[in-house]
Structure 1
Amino acid sequence: MGGSVRTQTLIALLCLGLCRGPWDQVQAGYLPKPSIRADPSPNVTSGTRVTIWCQASLQADVYYLYKERVSEPTSIEISQDSSNKASFSLGFMSPHNAGRYQCQYHSRNGWSQRSDLLPLVVTGVYSPPSLSAIPGPVVASGGNVSLSCSSQYPWQTFRLLKEGGADAPRPLELKFPREKRQALFPVGPVSISHGGTYRCYVSPASYPYAWSLPSDPLHLQVTGLYRKPSLSAQPGPSVSWGESVTLQCRSEIWLDTFYLSKEGSPAPPQHIRLQDTTAPYQANFNMSPVTSDREGTYRCHASSSTSPYLLSHPSDPLELLVSDSHSKDYTVENLIRMGMAGLILVVLGILLFRDHSSQRRIQDEARR
């Protein structure tokens, strides 16, 4: 049948488990191992559709997908020409199909090695933990910090992930023989590569690839990259209660993002990004009206919006003093008012007593 195109049938066999078949009788490693990946990601939310792709370096006619610790196979037939890749649709992601996968292919030249293991994780199965930094999320280069992942329920496995970037480290994992509610991940000595956004997850030991919802993000910022800015108060660092004050953070070099923090405060730093990037490079933090809880020691940092996790050295401390003259005035006024009210009550009492005595005299005279 000259000129005709010979059609081959591609059979993709999904072998759920490290099951064994006739291909195991062939010496593994005869052909190079394929690559394996998950689309859209190997870490997806519960209910997301997932496809696993197995790609060879040459044309193949049969592909196999293995899932760890499951024995019964499932077959999928695809009618098409020989191909260098095949897709396996897992449907909607759930704890049932989470786990570790490998793939393998066969061609006219024999069998390939198995691919690297692909961990497929489903998130959103359990309620999220919380993530905090001890002593705080702003740490000097070379210093140390601990990231605390905690939950209201006991767990056996805690995981810490850093988001984004090619330099993001692999997930840090802590396992405990007994169920715990908190895990501490020490970080340090801190370098600029540690700056970034972190989240943590929890999971039970029986389902290591079924994770909780992620914690709220924690932004770890590293200081010491640029020279320190200056911090001043306008009109001055001593302010009366109820008045206004502006704390000015100013950099000598071009930096467009400024952070203001108060020592000992659990609140995250205030931040301002400049819209006008011409000199002076200064951010104004307005406080109005000033109350006693504003009193304290402040510092500021500066950074570039292109590297928001890398900050300058901290400014020199500025101590803001709030006088309570207004509250003293109010106290005096209240005392005066109370004194006047007491005096009025005394006068009224005297008048009532005199009126009562006068009526008794009139009644006595009438009897006589």
Structure 2
Amino acid sequence: MLPTLTALLCLGLSLSPRTHVQAGKLFKPTLWAEPDSVIILGSPVTIWCQGTLDAQGYHLVRERRPIASNMQSTQESRDKAKFFIPYMTVHYAGQYRCYYQNPAGWSEPSEPQELVVTGLYGKPTLSALPSPVVASGGIVTLQCASQLEFDMFILTQEGNHKLSWHFGLHGHPHGQPQALFSVGPMTPGHRWIFRCYGYNSKIPLVWSESSDTLELLVSGAAETTSPSQNQSDIETGKYPQDHTMENLIRVGIAGLILVILGILLFEAQHSQRRHQGTSRR
């Protein structure tokens, strides 16, 4: 059984892209890239294809172009295979799909996964207009510009969910290719970090080097507090209570005590003087 399984695995991983793969009614596999689908020139990347536990082989294809012959492929487990690229180049950029095979036949193709290579051209510049400091709820324009003849630019936002915007060429007063991106409304409590790339639409998966990152700062983000919350904070000791009236009463009592003590002292001194005058007589 083991030699048979090994033979089927090798067949599934080494099938030529020209081999006819018939899509059946099996569940489609999942395809993704690690550490990312946007890879710097010369960096390693792994493409994963996850099928089912009864999979006997996996097959990776690239649209319009054959798979590079030196891509390393191994089946990590019964339900997963990886295709390793040790050194990212232009030749690996493209849109990929994968299949898996089990006794019932070949699965449906996975959703496409684009693999982008960056760093082939010099980096563009990214700036905020009019300023990287934006009021809460405001909208800011980001300008991505380059000295190179790009006809497309892409803006990416870093964070828990990576977003991207593609934009075509805009005019520039000095003839410099640029794109303008409108971002907002800005909200506090989130890091707004961006970078941009330039590329040519004829080879859309080959991008320039990344621009320097640009972080937007949201001003006026202080939270307002409701009266009920203020009252709650006072009751819980978060804010000191207003003791103005109580302090005035204490000051008044202290003043009254001082006055009484002054009167008693004056009476005592006056009584002592009268007693001394009587004794002399």
State the one-letter code of the partner of 1:116.
E
Q: How does 1:1-368 map to 2 (within 5 A)?
A: 8-9=5-6, 10-11=9-10, 12-13=12-13, 19=17, 21-24=19-22, 28-71=23-66, 83-166=78-161, 168=162, 170-176=163-169, 181-192=177-188, 195-226=191-222
Contact 1:95 1:207 in 2 (8 A): no
Q: Which moved more, 1:137-146 or 1:174-183?
A: 174-183
Residues 76 and 187 from structure 1, CA distance in 2 versus in 1: closer, same or farther, beyond 3 angstroms?
closer
Contact 2:58 2:99 in 1 (8 A): yes
Tell me the SS of whatever aligns to 2:51. Answer: strand
Q: Within 2, Cα distance between the matches of 1:79 and 1:98? A: 20
Give the RMSD, CA atoms, in angstroms.
3.1
Question: How far apart are 1:41 and its partner, in Å?
Answer: 2.0
Contact 2:152 2:200 in 1 (8 A): yes
Q: Within 2, Cα distance between the matches of 1:77 and 1:132? A: 41
Residues 45 and 5 from structure 1, CA distance in 2 versus in 1: closer, same or farther, beyond 3 angstroms?
closer
State the one-letter code of the partner of 2:25.
Y
Percentage of pairs with the same residue: 40
Q: Please give the TM-score of this superposition, normalised by the length of structure 1.
A: 0.53
Contact 1:14 1:76 in 2 (8 A): no
Counterpart residue number, 1:295: none
Q: Which has the higher strand share?
A: 1
Question: How far apart are 1:71 and its partner, in Å?
Answer: 4.7
Residues 144 and 14 from structure 1, CA distance in 2 versus in 1: closer, same or farther, beyond 3 angstroms?
farther
Contact 2:24 2:105 in 1 (8 A): no
Question: How far apart are 1:50 and its partner, in Å?
Answer: 2.0
Tell me the SS of whatever aligns to 1:92. Answer: coil
Tell me the SS of whatever aligns to 2:111. Answer: coil
State the one-letter code of the partner of 1:158.
F
Contact 1:158 1:201 in 2 (8 A): yes
Contact 2:74 2:81 in 1 (8 A): no
Question: How far apart are 1:44 and its partner, in Å?
Answer: 1.4
Question: Which runs of 5 or more residues in structure 2 are unaligned?
Answer: 225-281
Question: How far apart are 1:195 and its partner, in Å?
Answer: 4.2
Contact 2:60 2:96 in 1 (8 A): yes
Residues 86 and 125 from structure 1, CA distance in 2 versus in 1: closer, same or farther, beyond 3 angstroms?
same
Tell me the matched-pair count: 218
Contact 2:137 2:185 in 1 (8 A): yes
State the one-letter code of the partner of 1:104.
Y
State the one-letter code of the partner of 1:126.
Y
Q: Within 1, Cα distance between the matches of 2:90 and 2:3? A: 42
Question: How far apart are 1:199 and its partner, in Å?
Answer: 0.5
Q: Which has the higher helix share?
A: 2
Computing the radius of gyration from Cα coordinates, the structure with the larger value is 2
Q: Within 2, Cα distance between the matches of 1:138 and 1:79? A: 49
State the one-letter code of the partner of 2:204.
P
